[in-house]
Chain A
Amino acid sequence: MNASPKSAQVNTIQALNWALDDAMAADPNVVIFGEEIADPEGGGIMKVSAGLSTKYGGRVRSTPISEMGFTGAAVGAAIVGIRPVIEIMLMNFVAVCMDQITNHAAKLRFMSGGQTHVPLVIRTMTGSGFQTGGQHADFLEAWFCHTPGIKVVMPSNPADAYGLLRAAIDDEDPVIFVEHLASYWNPGAAPERGKSIPLGKANVVRSGKDVTVIGYSRSMLDIPVVAEKLAKEGIDCEIIDLRTVSPLDMDTLLTSVKKTGRAVVVHEAVKSFGVGAEVSARIHEALFRELKAPVQRVASKDSPVPFAKQLEAAFLYSHADIEQAVRSTLRQ
């Protein structure tokens, strides 16, 4: 593969396209399918798979709008050694194929006593802020995190998107790979092609001594902005990007919170029963006596994603919410 210069900037769409291309070149068992992903249909709604059907022929297929059918087909192909990477256009559409994901992909390894397994990657995307209303913008990762047998990966930048997708395709378990709509076009450091980023490992993106701020996906666009503002006041945040939401990298989280004694979790998904609750509970269970303040959660409101601009703004957390949460841990 032609390695990109370290200083080059690419966006997540390009990084994901490279990841698919490189994975298909490396392993003839990698096949991809989903709605309108082949070139005659446009190369995917975000053009992540542009050019690949031209290059790889029948290994890249557009499907009918039939998520249960093609997700189940991916499960079947995966148990006999194909490594399907399927695209479910929007995360809300997983609701029409949950049976194949949670009753089958997640459980076949266990129910078969380890005789079969499902090396499947389900790519999907979501994100509020585009006035797409209640059925096109939900963050549903907690559904999958609550299902043993599935891994959930949520990258926040182009280089991570590349490295994590390569690792997800190489992984022997089913992976839900959630891309974020708002960050597709953001430029970032180019990935090192051919190099994967291990699943299940969080990334400390900023070292600090006062508060550990934990995020993933979209919140990693917001947390650094708030941290820089607070740094000017001498509040030193340590920022952790989970990268893999399930399984959680508790070693990295607990090492950090032991040091800072304070933690804030930030996500775009609604607050109740979410990933933040799990992270908070685990930190409290492990470090109750060492915490200087209760772990804080910053998340979206417990409502469906609304349509109108001002309602959508009210739904999503704000930078002020993150700032306030950090400050509240310091007051105690």
Chain B
Amino acid sequence: MVAIFRKMAQIRLNDERFISLMKAGKMVMPYYSARGQEAIPSAISVLLTNDDYLVTIYRGIHDMIAKGVPPRLIWAELAGRSTGACKGKGGPMHITHPKSGCMVTTGVVGAGMPIACGLGLASQLRGEKRVTVTNFGDGASNIGAFHESLNLASVWKLPVIFVCQNNRYAEHTSFAKGTSIEHVADRAKSYSMPGITVDGNDPLAVYAAAKTAIDRARAGEGPTLIEALTFRFNGHLIGDMGEYIPKAEYQAALAADPYPRYRQWLIDDGHAGAADLDKLEADIKAEVDESVAFAFDSPLTDPSEITRDVYAEVA
């Protein structure tokens, strides 16, 4: 329980620091904050190991941190340093860290899902028990890659968990305007797999749904579609003023912020004392300080790197 909160705190405190450094002019990048969505990957990831694969998207730093990508490597990546997860060649939309299972991060809506099928296929061919979790937004449920992937995963019974983090907006277009169905999870029926809609701001509900799906995938019984209802508090990307979001909807979403709610529940239900959580947050703030220092103390990636990693290097 507290392990989930620890991940949520890591996500939140890193996110807040990214934004503050961007606003201070110290970092320039397209940054798609997932503040508000942190309960989803935090609850799922405690069920995974480094052997399990993650495929995520441009709004995915929360997914990476939850999966175990060291934040200092993310910081160095975003700062364009040679010590970055991808030597500064990927940036916020393309972080990869195979050691923690973060295999692909895509900047193209929906494109991670076919790739997740391939990771699942590899596990299946090798008789491994590992599973692949692929995250995407509600907007991606309208693109062809989603439908092709669910179909392929179902036909081949692949160990893939499709996690739709439904934050109600596809860039600037509301869910209702762009999606022909009330619940994305209902689309699972077309592909003969279980589909479940859960409150994505409730870590326990997400955990329960993910456990069922992961157990099913590990048992070789095939894929599941999970729709986790949530909201993103900082718009599509930093700088987005959110004029397209009705004020009442935004206020209601803020009121359902998973972070303070879960924090309070941990205390009320006796899982942690307030002082424990204060200390946990203080420790993570210190970690963030260390990550920022590591990033900015690291050398910039040398321009000669532009010709490396394009093709295999031939001896």
A interface vs B, CB < 8 Å?
31, 58-59, 61, 63-64, 66, 68-82, 84, 99-100, 103-104, 108-117, 148-149, 151, 171-173, 247
Contacts and interface: CB of A to CB of B under 8 A. Distances in A.
A36 B60 CA distance: 36
B152 A73 contact: yes
Given A77-B122, A115-B85, 17 more contacts: A31-B125, A59-B125, A64-B148, A64-B152, A66-B152, A69-B151, A71-B114, A73-B114, A73-B117, A75-B115, A76-B115, A76-B119, A77-B125, A112-B94, A114-B87, A114-B308, A115-B97
Contacts of B85: 113, 115
Q: How large is the interface on B (under 10, 10 to 19, 20 to 34, 35 or more residues)?
A: 35 or more
Given A64-B155, A172-B312, A75 B114 contact: yes
A34 to B, nearest CB: 13
A103 B118 CA distance: 16
Interface string B115-131: 11111111001000000
Contacts of B120: 76
A115 B96 contact: yes
Contacts of A115: 85-86, 96-98
Contact of B121 (A71, A77, A148): A77
Contacts of A78: 118
Interface of B: 53, 55, 84-90, 94, 96-98, 103-104, 106-108, 111, 113-122, 125, 132, 144-145, 148-149, 151-152, 155-156, 308-312
Contact of A69 (B86, B98, B122, B145): B145
Contacts of B88: 113
Contacts of B111: 72, 99-100, 103-104
A69 B116 contact: no
Contacts of A112: 86, 89-90, 94, 96, 309
9 contacts: A59-B125, A69-B151, A75-B115, A76-B120, A76-B132, A104-B108, A113-B309, A114-B309, A149-B310
Contact of B86 (A82, A84, A113, A247): A113
A329 B256 CA distance: 76
Q: Which of A63, A78, A79, A149 has the most CB of B within 10 A?
A: A79
A149 B294 CA distance: 31
Given A114-B308, A149-B310, A66 B151 contact: yes
A147 B60 CA distance: 26
Nearest to A80: B122
Contacts of A73: 114-115, 117-118, 121, 152
Nearest to B313: A114
A4 B169 CA distance: 62
A100 B144 CA distance: 12
Contacts of A74: 118
